[in-house]
Amino acid sequence: MHHPQHPTLASLMALGEYPQQFFPRLSVTFAVFPGTDRGVVTEGVHLLDSATLTGPIPELVKSAVDAVCRHIRTASLAEDTFRTDLPD
């Protein structure tokens, strides 16, 4: 019996160039809300940034980490003659 050869969903998501061509809902949605909880904001700006990230899993992870890093605030702690950066 002949079994058709086709990629699995896992291989498509891990190694495909643009898996969303076949599965458009398999993406990552990134959003930055003001405050610490999206339900807290009732007026004014509700969303500071958003993006739909697509591509294979390695690209999704890199894009998501890059997006988070763009929005992390960094404080500085000065002790003696050295400064230490403290990300959120």
> What tokens appear for 56 in the block?
């294979």
pLDDT tens-digit series, residues 21-72: 999 999 999 998 887 776 666 666 778 899 999 999 999 999 999 999 998 8
Q: Give CA separation, 59 vs 22, 62, 66, 71, in Å.
A: 17, 5, 10, 19
Residues contacting 22, CB < 8 A, separation 6+: 12
Report pTM: 0.72
In the DSSP assignment, the letter for residue 4 is P
